[in-house]
Structure 1
Amino acid sequence: MSRTPTYAAELRAALSDVVRAVDERELARATEALVARYRSVGPASAPILASEVHVAAYAAYRMPATHAALSRVLGAVADRGVQPRSLLDLGGGTGAAAWAAAGAFPSLESITVLDQVEAALTLGRRLVADAPSPALAAASFGRARAGAWPEEQADLVTVSYVLSELDERQQDALVADAMRRGQVVVVAEPGTPDGYARVIRVRTALLAAGWSLLGPCPHEAECPLLQGDWCHFVARVNRSAEHRRIKGAELSYEDEKFSWVAAAAPGLVESLAAEPSPGRIIRHPLKRKGLVEFQVCRPDGTAGREVVSKKAGERYRRARDAEWGDPLP
């Protein structure tokens, strides 16, 4: 997986400009409401985005972490040889996936973000106004509801951090919409047991429709972690001064955990340049003197321990640099 979220600094700068333009007391109240909403359970935990201040609070509070997670996800998809010219982001809000995709795919020429909240779309347009990527700066932010998306097609369709706001019937319909509109579909959710369960439902639907997995799984068998564990990864987020203040945090970083799945439409995967990975690292590696121990999901559909010793030479050197979420060296 890509380790450096491209355009992260530019996004932080754009968010800082937004935060500085909002009354500090109003922003604090909106952030408190946002945090309380996230701590509730179920679909009602979707953030309140009823005003420009609430949207600014949401973007400043959550967008850096969402962008970091999606940068890792889309970097891994790019590593499989995917080179989309067009992106359609369903339920994309303020555009975190658009920023991540612009960094991961230099091939992108057009970006369309659809969401039902006009205030989020307005802020998304403002954030990309001076973006360093031509495709990102020219991105289209359009208002549309789930189930009533315009009949637009794209090489890549993303659905990120959206499914938790929907019931299972709506989730299934949204994934079906994504498959109808794209050649590659990427779905990301929070790296919690519930988020993982939603990703597994999407994975099952993609495979049932004849799609081929691009990641993170190196196989298309049943997930070996279904009993008592869940598959998730992590992205480190560097916090700006405004980000720390809004979150009431002292550390200069945070770790965003996420689950994801990506798949290609029938017949497409054979045309991609990169080979499937020999396995995926599914926990922090244990690095000791002379060896590195991994927990790995393998191409044969099993998960377990892999050890690379110093005797492996170049493979050992690559193993020392490998991280949670990377392909097994």
Structure 2
Amino acid sequence: MTSPDLPAELKAALNARLEGLSRNNAASRAAAISQTYREGGGSEAIRTETDALAYALARMPATYAAVVASLNALAEIRPDFAPATLLDVGAGPGTASWAATEAFSSLQRCTQFDANAALRTLAQQLAHDSTRLHAVTYELGPARTLLAQAEPADLVVASYMIGEIGQAERAALAEALWSKTNDTLLVVEPGTPAGYARIISLRAQLIAAGARVAAPCPHDRACPLIAPDWCHFSQRLQRSRAHKQVKGAEVPFEDERFAYVALTRLPATSHPSRVLAQPDAGKVEIAAKLCTPDGVTVTRIPRRAKADYARARRWRWGDAV
């Protein structure tokens, strides 16, 4: 399993970019950029080197952790998956590419797409001395335009980017992403009801186009959850000193909520159930909310069933069981 914390060489590269930068200025820019994101403004607020670095310090650790958690879930279902090529669409500072190269040592070629010049510059600086990403190709421009010209890849990733475009554009982008997927497409979004809704819409569209769900769902049918419930997961990550300073936080960790779907061209197979919330462990029993091939259910494991109870005590939110 790949660690949710940023790899050492990425931390070193970020720290090197911090030399001479005012932490107060970075914190101020990070707050402004985060506000723009919450209002649906996307990356348009990131215009300068300081903007890009502030964004990376504030958001890169959590985004990386969410992508790693999604890739870990995929690898658990597909232990033989060894992609050689990667397309990172909406790459930003290269977060998903770093996560994918940590998760899959088989990757040999990585291509990144984004329309933001400041983020591309930062991504290239961070990858410059990397042993894994030094030869990455980063193309600047609109995602669909670049996808139309791209070679297909074994793994295509779009993380935290489909929420930045309109609904009609999302459908066209989903089709373009799938058309360039040789094997698996991973889409990750914030773990909000809106993020979940975007994932579910894309999931339904691409299943209709022939895709099969690899993770997290144990089936290809419509999501059985009923509003106001929604499918999302949580990944805890440790905050570095710089991360805490930029976020103005004292707590040494952060819990990133995210929603995701991994879609594959492989034939349909049976998958294990998925834990949809942190199980409630009591003295008499453990109650766990599971998404199963037959729908959502609350499974209760009595303490007297010692082996099953001991196994269920190890279940965590997001686990395949």
Gaps of 5+ in 2: none
Cα pair distance change 1:15/1:165, threshold 3 Å: same
After superposition, the Cα gap between the structure-2 partners of 1:64 and 1:221, relative to the gap in structure 1 and judged at 3 Å, is same
Give the alignment of 1:1-329 within 5 angstroms.
2=1, 4-5=3-4, 7-40=6-39, 43-46=40-43, 48-81=45-78, 82-131=81-130, 134-149=131-146, 150-182=149-181, 183-265=183-265, 268-269=266-267, 276-289=270-283, 291-300=285-294, 302-328=295-321
* Greater Cα offset, 8-17 or 226-235: 8-17
Identity %: 37
Change (3 A) 1:21 1:110: farther
| Alignment check: 8 A CA contact 2:27 2:245 kept | no
Which deviates more from structure 2 when the two are superposed, residues 255-264 or residues 307-316? 307-316
CA gap 1:119/1:45 in 2 versus in 1, 3 angstroms: closer
Determine the C-alpha separation between the residues in 2 that align with 1:255 and 1:15.
21
Task: Give the letter aligned to residue 125 of structure 2.
Answer: R
Q: Within 2, Cα distance between the matches of 1:304 and 1:190?
A: 24
Which is worse superposed, 43-52 or 139-148? 43-52
Number of aligned pairs?
Answer: 316
Structure 2 CA distance, aligned partners of 1:21 and 1:269?
53
Q: Secondary structure at the match of 1:321?
A: coil
Please tell me the root mean square deviation across aligned C-alpha atoms, in Å.
Answer: 2.0
What displacement does 1:28 show? 3.2
Displacement of 1:45 in angstroms is: 4.8
Q: Aligned partners of 1:138, 1:5: CA distance in 2, in Å? A: 24
Asked if the contact 2:219/2:271 (under 8 Å) is kept, the reply is no
In structure 2, relative to structure 1, the CA distance for the partners of 1:220 and 1:79 (3 Å cut) is: same
Give the Cα separation in 2 of the matches to 1:79 and 1:326: 10
Q: What TM-score do the two structures reach when normalised by structure 1?
A: 0.89
Gaps of 5+ in 1: none
* Residues 7/62 of structure 1: CA separation in 2 closer, same or farther (3 Å cut): closer
2: distance between equivalents of 1:51 and 1:256? 26
Contact persistence 1:231–1:282 (CA under 8 A): yes
Mapped partners of 1:6, 1:239: distance in 2 = 9
Cα distance in structure 1, aligned partners of 2:11 and 2:174? 30
CA separation in 1, counterparts of 2:176 and 2:71? 20
> Secondary structure at the residue paired with 1:68?
helix
TM-score by length of 2: 0.92
**C-alpha separation between the residues in 1 aligned to 2:34 and 2:160?**
16
Cα offset for 1:310? 4.3
Contact 2:5 2:237 in 1 (8 A): no
Residue 317 and residue 207 in structure 1: after superposition, are their counterparts in 2 closer, same or farther (change >3 A)? same
> Is contact 1:12–1:64 with CA below 8 Å preserved after alignment?
no
* Amino acid across the alignment from 1:138: A
Amino acid at match of 1:33: A
CA separation in 1, counterparts of 2:305 and 2:100?
35
